[in-house]
Amino acid sequence: MFHIFYVNQGYMLMLEPPTLGSVFDLQKSIEKSTGIGIDNQLLFLSDGGSLIGSTMLSSITGVGTDTNPIFLVRRVTNNGRELVKENLEGINELFRGWSSEMDRLNRISTTSSSAITECIELAKKCNTVAETIIRFCSNLISEHHYLHQGWKAVIANLDDSISRTQKYLQRSKRQAEKLETIRTKGRVLLGDFDNVIEVLSKEDNNSSSLLSPPPAQQLTPSSPDSDTNSTTFTSSEEITLFDWLSSKDPAYSLNSLSQLMLDHLEKTDDTDLIEATSFFTIVQGVSTKAQYREIGGIDKRLTTLRSKFQHLEGILAQVREISNRIIQPIIQDSTQNIANWQKQRLNELKQPLKHIYDFAISFIDSKEEVVKNISQRFSTWVRQAYERLDRANKKLVVFEEKYSGLRQRLDLVRQIKEAPNIYMLAVPEVIRREELRKEFSGWITTHIR
């Protein structure tokens, strides 16, 4: 059994998803019970942690109980007035039902013994009505408490989201501090790149001895004057180092790399970071203000409700005392006198029962105010805060991808610039190893014989 407190409406659900199920199974149970689609459900723990669909319910311990429920928040809030209307109708039906029976009893004769029985039944019913309403008031106090806990869980989750975005933002700002230096070095690096292309175009490469083209692959030899020639290299064909490097990525040409990099250098700036910072600053500013974070007077409200409830328990004791006297009258007089006495005592119950009824209405009104307050916050600044954090994170992703892409491409340019020197160092080593291999093969052949 899982206890789920629905914060938008302010009441507790008790559901039994499959024992070996996941949070997703629990969400399906919630959808079946409330009609709230799974995509529209947010599940929070009291510390602000959120539950995701793949989490196994067996791994969740100590939560989902009547004292530590899971908090359900509906993404798109709706009007909770229907539930309030149902509560009012239920209380009204109890109170008015008993009052109308009392009015009828006062209008009829009390000379028969059946009048005594009817008075006893009305006294018992008065007890039941009073106890039912007071239990309802007790539940309302608990719902006030869980409304407050649910709200604090949402705020804790928001604080955690803000903290994670702030760390992401700080990392991006450190990258931005290096950006201008990287751009400057990049322009210097690209300054003589055309000369490197010319050198690569003149470097002959015997593909059979040092670098061989990928087997069964169409390669595109390029030249400083042509980006579009297409042919197939053979293993014995002499190609330039420029062609061999170009063949590794036929979709791009080394000739256009310089201009592409210059364009990338110009486009990579901190615009996305500035926008992300703006979104984040708005959220941070709102979320730290007490009038947004806290439900004003909730602690005082709960204290007042508990004080009223203690008074209600005193009234209930009074109702029980009078009812018991009616239910067990002292038989020392005529039936008519007993019935009249019982009617008088029943009329004495009207006032305390009316007090209980009035207290219940005030409890309902109080809960409605809190639910309305929280729902209004969900639909305004809380929703806007999460939306702005989402925008900020997306902007930071774009900035980081641009930054990382720039660094990777500059590393590629650096490697290409170093290619002629590396090639010149590699060729003698390849030749040396080839000669050594021949000598070693000859030595093996001689000694094996």
Choose the most confident range, by mean pLDDT, from 49-63, 223-237, 339-353, 379-393: 379-393
Q: For 119-155, how does the pLDDT look when each residue is reduced to its tens digit (9 = 90+)?
A: 999 999 999 999 999 999 999 999 999 999 999 999 9
Q: For 180-218, how does the pLDDT look when each residue is reduced to its tens digit (9 = 90+)?
A: 888 888 888 777 766 766 666 665 555 444 445 444 444
Mean pLDDT of the chain: 83
Per-residue confidence (pLDDT) for residue 167, from 0 to 100: 97
Assessment of whether the complete model's pTM goes beyond 0.75: yes
Domain 2-74: give its CATH code.
3.10.20.90
Residue 419 scores a pLDDT above 70: no
Q: Where are the domains of the chain?
A: 2-74, 83-150+298-387
More confident residue, 56 or 77: 56
pLDDT confidence of 250, banded at 50, 70, 90? Answer: low
78 Cα distance to chain centroid: 19
Q: For 287-327, how does the pLDDT look when each residue is reduced to its tens digit (9 = 90+)?
A: 999 999 999 899 999 999 999 999 999 999 999 999 999 99
Per-residue confidence (pLDDT) for residue 398, from 0 to 100: 95
| Non-local CB neighbours of 341 within 8 Å, separated by 6+ positions | 329, 333
Per-residue confidence (pLDDT) for residue 76, from 0 to 100: 79
More confident residue, 261 or 392: 392
More confident residue, 257 or 54: 54
